Amino acid sequence: MVPVLPLDGILVVSCEQAVAAPFATRQLAELGARVVKVERPGEGDFARGYDETVNGLSSHFVWLNRSKESLALDLKADAERGPDGVMRRLLARADVFVQNFAPGAAERLGLGADTLRARHPGLVTCSISGYGPSGPYRDAKAYDLLIQSEAGLVSVTGSADEPAKSGIPAADIGAGMYAFSGILAALYDRTRTGVGTHLEISLFDALVEWMGFPLHYTAGGGVPPRRAGTSHAAIAPYGTYRAGDGTEVVLGIQNEREWVAFCGRVLLRPELAADPRFDTGARRVADRRALDVEIGDVLAGLTGERLTARLADARIAYGRRREVAEVLEHPQLAARGRWTSVDSPAGPVRALLPPITLPDRPPRMGPIPGVGEHTDAILRWLDE
């Protein structure tokens, strides 16, 4: 008997492209929901064309769109069909509708939240936008880099000399996860009330929320946290340190107990813990350069193996600074069997299992669809 997943029986219809909305609906699909991805006939979701690095497929699309069904549909022409339109009939059966159209486009297509929920009171609708449904930035272009810049993430990321964007689409991912959690909450609420609701998620709001530490730091102290590479504006020692053989180890000393243990059992310099330059967290941050010199002098005489052994013995938090290629072969992923494969139009591709783990109920890890691959089957189903 196939285990029942939490969202089995839930139908999600999504007019989605790029990252944020597809990321949200992939989470729903892996928990058992049936996700119908509505795409433009021909080219489909434009993220399909970002690159060709995964057996000729886009790395973004492979990451975001497994376990979904693709319906190729001209939405403008379909809207003109009125009650006979595919979307009208599909949404009559749906539990959730997600869209990340440009502002105003859903309303022009007859897919606005007010229209849909008047027709289907139990429907949960979710709109994902760049800046929200109102305000002076409502109609602004909202690519991930632009949101990272407007939300201040770029200003606190990078080195002291140069800001940098996050290496992953942080605004898109943040919005996608808030859409996912918001939809789950709305579905739960519907079990009590029988009524759906509308969710408004914006990339800007999601990323500003994630900027909580630097925003509070700046509001409270009058100056923003400084960019410090892998270091931390308010904690030291914290960041990447190099052993004598070149091994890079990332440290994070969180409290005075750890600082004393680090000095005594890792550096073998217990007197350093009481040095008046470094005997509080604030003083270590203020004199970080001198602190790093003291630490660096000791680590230069250690191999990476010896350093990590001392850190483990002293129960000091540490990690390896790994390149992306190293993460593919990470021993923790291998030991826990976190890699699997999914089918695609280009054959099987490697895939990570999702972070949500349900004992004895494996997630759905269905194929990555081709454009319109399921159109005929969905139309037949609607005619039943």
Among this protein's residues, is 198 annotated catalytic?
A: no
Query: How far apart, in Å, do the first and last CA atoms of the chain sit?
Result: 27
pTM of the model: 0.88
SS3 assignment, position 117: helix
The structure tokens listed for 130 are: 């760049």
Low-confidence ranges of the chain (pLDDT < 50): none
Q: How many residues does the chain have?
A: 384
Q: Write down the pLDDT at residue 226.
A: 80
Burial of residue 87 (number of CB atoms within 10 Å: 0-12, 13-18, 19+): buried
**What pLDDT shows up at residue 254?**
87
Cα separations in angstroms, 286 against 67, 174, 220, 343: 51, 33, 18, 53
In one letter, which amino acid is 246?
A: G
Out of 60, 120, 198, 232, the active site residue is 232
Predicted local distance difference test score (pLDDT) of residue 234: 77
pLDDT in tens, 219-239: 998 888 888 777 777 788 999
Instruction: Give the domains, in start order, of the chain with CATH numbers.
Output: 11-211+333-383 (3.40.50.10540), 238-320 (3.30.1540.10)
Which amino acid type is present at position 242? R
User: Residue 383 burial (CB < 10 Å; 0-12/13-18/19+)?
Assistant: exposed
Q: So what's the pLDDT on residue 1?
A: 65
pLDDT at 74: 95
Would you state the structure tokens that stand for residue 150, as one six-digit string? 């407007």
Q: What is the pLDDT of residues 94-125, one digit of tens each?
A: 999 999 999 999 999 999 999 999 999 999 99
Q: Please, are residues 91 and 124 in contact by the beta-carbon 8 Å criterion? A: no
| DSSP code string of 171-237 | HHHHHHHHHHHHHHHHHHHHHHHS---EEEEEHHHHHHHHTHHHHHHHHHHSSPPPP-TTS-SS-SS
Per-residue model confidence (pLDDT) at position 243: 94
